[in-house]
Amino acid sequence: MKVKVCGITDVETAKRTAALGADAIGFVFAKSKRQISPEAAREIIAGLPAGVLKVGVFVNESRERVEEIVRVCGLDYAQLHGDEDEAYAQELQVPFIKAFGVGSTADVEAALRYPADYILLDSPKGAYQGGNGKKFDWSLLDGLSGEERGRIILAGGLGAENVAEAARWVQPYMVDASSSLETDGKKDLSKIQTFIETVKESHNDNLHVSRS
């Protein structure tokens, strides 16, 4: 199972996070306390290993601007957190993830219909259009097929204390965390390390059980 750490804002933290085993790193270009400029993100991305996915977070940005930032910064995916409709998605010329706040099975069904490479399922939107650092009801995802789970990036209040349970219950393609990996508003490398190790150990345990 893959791990994404979102809201990175400096070179050293990004490099250390990659070295600790993160599979993806997120950069927030939308209004947020973790907002970063394209110029700063480009500098950070230039120093990251090729195998780490670089993801840019956008909210109701024009398609042209999203495509420009993806190209200039060297992003692998745009992550859309706003009100981007399917017409927007069909015209977007870069790989992308669409985020959805989940409060009902209807929300899950709408997310699965959306024509994105991956869908990020989060708790309902807060002040900055992202999640509010709280988990949603994972039982809303019961009954999904393996193919459907393979498109899901799970977010919403995930930390070292609950991500193993989340991984077993939901079996997503990737798990994503940001605020739970901070201390006093700054990314905490110790928390990042514990989170990544917990996910990887949980995944290995699940493989062992499935093969027994």
Q: How far is CA 204 from the centre of its chain?
A: 21
Query: Integer distance in angstroms from the first to the last C-alpha of the chain?
Result: 19
For residue 73, indicate whether it is catalytic. no
Distance between CA atoms of residues 208 and 189, nearest Å: 28
Catalytic residue (choose from 23, 73, 122, 176)? 122
Give me the helices (H) in the chain, please.
11-19, 38-46, 63-73, 86-91, 105-113, 146-149, 163-170, 189-211
Strand 186-187 relative to strand 2-6, pairing: unpaired
Distance between CA atoms of residues 141 and 107, nearest Å: 10
For residue 6, indicate whether it is catalytic. yes
Catalytic residue (choose from 6, 23, 73, 176)? 6
- SS3 assignment, position 212: coil
Query: What amino acid positions are annotated as catalytic residues?
Result: 6, 122
